């Protein structure tokens, strides 16, 4: 094997799981394409047939699988799929299903999630999308941020990898906070993935 073949063979192969808009999925795909950053996104999995992430992924020429919740929970469907793509890291980016325990056992410390608040605050059941930012504003918080963490069997409770925070002003609405968090995600999430797994 030549050196360049070895380098190629050692590149990470990421699967992104997303249920909705897919702005993070798209941003991660683009980031790892822009330069040789040690990995590439080779697969997107979604559980929603009308998710915007499907069109984004299609435009970028990345394979996208739409799977039902039952298929995602079926090891005989999921594991061969991920193995056929040589996946070494699963990134949840707005994925609203629980990750089945067999996946957590098969990919120890190789499944991560991004949460749009500073965990352990504002995490757990019901804390997704705009609800998170509404809760942050209602609690009078003066800062919020993003948390990238390992996925465990308990929602939003896996070991924290990185957090980045931003100020919340007294007159900020939930929509304002959402926009700030969106910017933080775009600026930081792909870099955190690279620095944690592919450096
Ligand atoms: C992001 O805010 C992320 O933190 C959360 O879900 C949202 C997904 O947004 N887990 P998008 O689908 O990537 O645009």
pLDDT digits (tens, 9 = 90+) for 80-128: 999 999 999 999 999 999 999 999 999 999 999 999 999 999 999 899 9
Predicted local distance difference test score (pLDDT) of residue 90 = 98
Predicted local distance difference test score (pLDDT) of residue 9 = 53
Answering whether pTM is above 0.75, one says: yes
Please list every protein residue whose CB sits less than 6 Å from any atom of ligand 1: 18, 20-25, 93-94, 114-116, 185
Tell the residue nearest (CA) to atom 10 of ligand 1: 94
CA 11 – CA 36 distance, rounded (Å) = 9
Active-site residue, 115 included = yes
Centroid of ligand 1 to alpha carbon of 25 (angstroms): 9
Cβ proximity of 157 and 194 under 8 Å? no
Predicted local distance difference test score (pLDDT) of residue 10 = 80
Candidates 197, 192, 154, 161; CA nearest to 14 is 197
3-state secondary structure of 149: strand
Candidates 97, 107, 63, 75; CA nearest to 197 is 107
CA 36 – CA 15 distance, rounded (Å) = 17
């Amino acid at each position: 094997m030549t050196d360049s073949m070895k380098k190629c063979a050692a590149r990470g192969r990421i699967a992104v799981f997303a249920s909705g808009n897919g702005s993070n999925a798209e941003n991660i795909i683009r980031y790892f394409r822009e330069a040789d950053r040690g990995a590439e996104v080779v697969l997107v999995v979604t559980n929603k047939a009308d998710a915007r992430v499907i069109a984004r992924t299609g435009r970028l020429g990345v394979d996208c699988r739409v799977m039902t919740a039952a298929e995602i929970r079926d090891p005989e469907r999921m594991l061969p799929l991920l193995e056929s793509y040589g996946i070494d890291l699963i990134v949840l980016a707005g994925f609203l299903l629980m990750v089945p325990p067999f996946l957590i056992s098969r990919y120890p410390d190789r499944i991560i999630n991004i949460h749009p608040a500073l965990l352990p605050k504002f995490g757990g059941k019901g804390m997704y999308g705009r609800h998170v930012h509404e809760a942050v504003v209602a609690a009078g918080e003066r800062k919020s941020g993003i948390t990238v963490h390992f996925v465990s069997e308990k929602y939003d409770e896996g070991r924290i990898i990185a957090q980045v925070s931003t100020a919340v002003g007294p007159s900020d609405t939930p929509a304002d906070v959402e926009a700030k968090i969106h910017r933080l995600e775009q600026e930081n999430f792909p870099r955190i993935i690279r620095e944690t797994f592919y450096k």
